Amino acid sequence: MVQANRRLVIKSAAAAVGALSFAPQLMAQSAPVRIGYSMSRTGPWTGGAQVSQEPNYLLWAEQQNAAGGLDVKGVRRRIELISSDDRSDTETVVRTYEKLMGSDKVDLVLPPWGSNANFAVAPLANRFQYPFLAPTALSRRLVEMRLPYFFLLLQQPAPMTNALVDMLKANGVKTVALIYVDDLFGLENYAAFKVALQGSGISLVEDKSYPGGVKDLSPVLRSMKDKNPDAFVGFTYPPDTILASRQSKEIGFNPKFFYASVGTAFPLYKNVMTPVGAEGVLGMGSWNSKTSAGAKAYFDAHVASQKKEPDRWASGACWAGLEILTNAVKAQGLDRKAIRDYVASTTHKTIIGDVKFNGSENVGTPGTVGQWQNGEFEVVWPKTVATAQLNPNKSAWK
């Protein structure tokens, strides 16, 4: 088990995934690049953090060190990761980053997991002037804060809910029932979804919030089943996504469209529900190994190194952020303002496609919808980036 409050020193190894041959003279004799972050290894955020973020940080450092170190304007310098368990606690996240940036003065930082943690730490990134490329923050409020050092890789609530409503409308949906977690993520997506419904001809027949850590959703799911909606939507966290799916199966609630996130794009979802049980379930997702040659190479390297698959949503965004950071350091060195300016002004070629920022928001990649089909989480909407056609009629739970 990964220990909390530890220092990770990822060392070069010829056997490491992505190892490249390099001349001995390219091995930097200078100090390592110290990169700090906090990550949830215990508590309710652990499931997402240990799927979508920390494995990617470890893989990235492994690959860079296997190549001789991070390219800092032509000089290879070994990466030293300095990390600790934030215990899924916002106050711990804030204290950790204050120390990393304020007193430890690490060279760079990597973001924590989730909208709440990133919302709490975003002002610190701006105050200490450390570029943050956040792969798991979904909040319009973060965009509206206009923090020049903070960048969000994920598509935000409006593009994602617009894509969802567009898909539902195009496939004849007239009624929808919705649940959402009562925090920043749930509230913002719920608000954006209601705006997207305006003028769509789709009626919201029931909508209910629930508290984080909920243990039973069956009463509200039974109420929704009685209304027989064409579609169910859940703005849910991984444990709640699985809970809602399992309890819907138990009570026989099986609308034509069943959409839940976060967690639907996780391999865990397919494993828990079984590939057959997951078939046809929709959720937030933006890529898979078919998306690009780079995505396939990343997927294979992740499996080889971390012994598990990446998820088909935020893992791709996380790796894209690391690609951007790598190129920024290669071009600008460790001058954090120069890195920020490079990130803000460049159209970045990544495994998930072009990423371009307008302020803090990624406006380069579209809002998307994913769906489990034959054991793979396919991108099914919009059609311009789809890796498979949408299945417009979910099969019965199995």
Q: In this structure, are residues 283 and 267 in contact, taking their beta carbons and an 8 Å threshold? A: no
Strands 150-152 and 132-134: parallel
Which residues, in sequence order, are bridge partners of residue 372? Answer: 377
User: What integer pLDDT is reported at residue 29 of this predicted model?
Assistant: 53
Tokens for 371, please give them: 């769906």
| pLDDT-derived band at 341, boundaries 50, 70, 90 | very high
Of 79, 282, 279, 94, which Cα lies nearest the Cα of 171? 282
Average pLDDT of the segment spanning 308-320: 97
Region of poorest pLDDT, from 98-102, 181-185, 232-236, 368-372: 181-185
Average pLDDT of the segment spanning 367-390: 97
- Pairwise pLDDT comparison (161 vs 8), residue with the higher score: 161
Residue 270 has pLDDT above 90, yes or no: yes
pLDDT tens sequence across 205-251: 999 999 988 999 999 999 999 999 999 999 999 999 999 999 999 99
Give the helix/strand (H/E) hosting 328.
Answer: helix 314-332
Mean pLDDT for all residues in the chain: 92
pLDDT tens sequence across 141-159: 999 999 999 999 999 999 9
pLDDT tens sequence across 11-57: 333 333 343 334 444 443 579 999 999 999 999 899 999 999 999 99
**Domains in the chain, ordered, with CATH?**
6-156+291-362 (3.40.50.2300), 157-289+368-385 (3.40.50.2300)
User: What integer pLDDT is reported at residue 44 of this predicted model?
Assistant: 87
Strands 33-39 and 108-109: parallel
How many other CB atoms sit within 10 Å of the CB of residue 198?
8
pLDDT tens sequence across 191-204: 999 999 999 999 99
All residues at 6 or more sequence positions from 160 whose CB lies less than 8 Å from its CB, including other chains: 138, 189, 192, 284, 367, 368
Q: In this structure, are residues 134 and 153 in contact, taking their beta carbons and an 8 Å threshold? A: yes
User: What integer pLDDT is reported at residue 27 of this predicted model?
Assistant: 43
pLDDT tens sequence across 15-28: 333 433 344 444 43
Average pLDDT of the segment spanning 107-113: 98
Of 349, 357, 353, 346, which Cα lies nearest the Cα of 368? 353
Residue 10 has pLDDT above 50, yes or no: no
Distance CA 161, CA 263 (A): 16
